[in-house]
Amino acid sequence: MANVKVILVDIDNTLLDFDEAIRTSLQVGFKKFGLGEFTEEMFTVFNRINTAMWQRLEKGEIDLAQLKKERYAAVFKELGVDFDGVEYEKWFRTYLYDCVIPVDGAFELLESLKSKYTLCTASNGPYQQQIHRMELSGMGKYFTHHFISEDLGVQKPAKEFFDKALAKIGDVKPEDCLIIGDSLTSDIKGGINSGIKTLYFNKHGETNTKGIIPDFEFGSLREIKEFLE
């Protein structure tokens, strides 16, 4: 893509399938702790509560420690499950640490882009967890830098996240960069805030009702690969 030197790539639900990791963890965790049979309702409830909490995190209303403390407590309360949410959260994070399920087309995309652009991850989340999952998946080798919110001290979509990232890369302007991500409120809004080109990975084909307009939008990583080649 002309005039783009650096591509920032989100991790969860862009490169690694976080939704499937959650679904699997609920299946395994509910069996392990004797909490009943897994149903799709459980995933739906978790996804809704988790999304709302991450959006609060992006706005600075809560921090990561508060999210860890409250997330599964809220999920279990709604599901009527009598279990310590904090204890389950600790187990969940241990499970997630080693859970790597690539999104379809992720390796092909990175292999195609590695010789054309400087590639960097850009993720909201725990630093060691995200770095470990990138290495465990075999994707770490494609990236020059990993920009993780816990390490930078600020979350996407804050302009400061991207300012710090670009400063670490050095000799690059916002207009030289593109961010690829699945979140309108985090990746795309953050890119817009920072003057960075934006590419929305809308893998579920959802209708955009948020008034956040990306520069580009595709429904698969293979389409993104073809666009950027």
CA of residue 54 relative to chain centroid, distance:
10
Q: Whole-angstrom Cα distance, residue 164 to residue 197?
A: 17
The residues spanned by each domain of the chain are 6-16+100-228, 18-97
CATH fold match for the domains 6-16+100-228 and 18-97: no
User: What CA–CA distance (Å, rounded) separates 229 from 224?
Assistant: 9
Q: 120: part of which helix (H) or strand (E)?
A: strand 118-123
Task: List the one residue out of 84, 88, 78 whose CA is nearest residue 48.
Answer: 78
User: Are 41 and 47 a contacting pair, CB within 8 Å?
Assistant: no
Q: How far is CA 75 from the centre of its chain?
A: 20
Considering the domain delimited by 18-97, tell me its CATH architecture: Orthogonal Bundle (1.10)
What is the CATH class of 6-16+100-228?
Answer: alpha beta
pLDDT along the chain (229 residues), means of 10: 94 95 92 92 93 90 92 95 95 93 98 97 94 97 97 95 97 97 97 98 95 98 97
- Crossing angle of the two packed helices 40-58 and 18-32, in degrees rounded to 10: 120
| H-helix or E-strand spanning residue 201 | strand 197-201
**CA–CA separation, 215 vs 191, rounded Å?**
10
The tokens for 158 are 């804050």
What pTM value is reported for the model? 0.90
